Amino acid sequence: MSEQVESKPAAPAQEKKKVFEINVYKAWCKGCGICIEFCPKQVLEATPTGRAKPTHPECCIGCMQCVLRCPDFAITVEEKVKEVKHPRGGGRKQD
């Protein structure tokens, strides 16, 4: 009897998870809740006044649905970039 061996494709190389910074401008947010409803990862929640607040920014995937749907342009999403520190101060000698 021959045994069937099930093969699985190799797992792709692990990519570093991108980290995003979400800002909600309180003065512009009217609390309509559209951004909260469209967020696929439930990053945003309503405050007691009804305005959006990023309560789970670590879950953000950067899809920008909140930014695209906000009728008041009250939300920005930017990818955080790690700063690389050079051990010798960048290699330039300052006078």
DSSP codes joined into one string, 4-53:
P----PPPPPPPPPPEEEEEE-TTT-----HHHHH-TT--EEE-TTS-EE
What's the token pair of residue 87? 């051990």
Any idea which residue has 């409803």 for tokens? Answer: 37
What's the token pair of residue 22? 């979400």
pLDDT for residue 4: 60
Domain chopping of the chain, boundaries = 19-80
Tell which wins on pLDDT, 69 or 90. 69
- CATH 3.30.70.20 describes domain 19-80: yes
Residues 6+ apart with CB under 8 A from 54: 22, 23, 24, 43, 44, 60
Mind listing the pLDDT tens digit for each residue in 6-33? 545 555 556 678 999 999 999 999 999 9
Q: Phi and psi (nearest 5°) for 23? A: -120, 130
Mean pLDDT of 53-81: 96
DSSP codes joined into one string, 79-91:
EE-PPPPPTTGGG
pTM: predicted TM-score of the whole model, two decimal places: 0.68
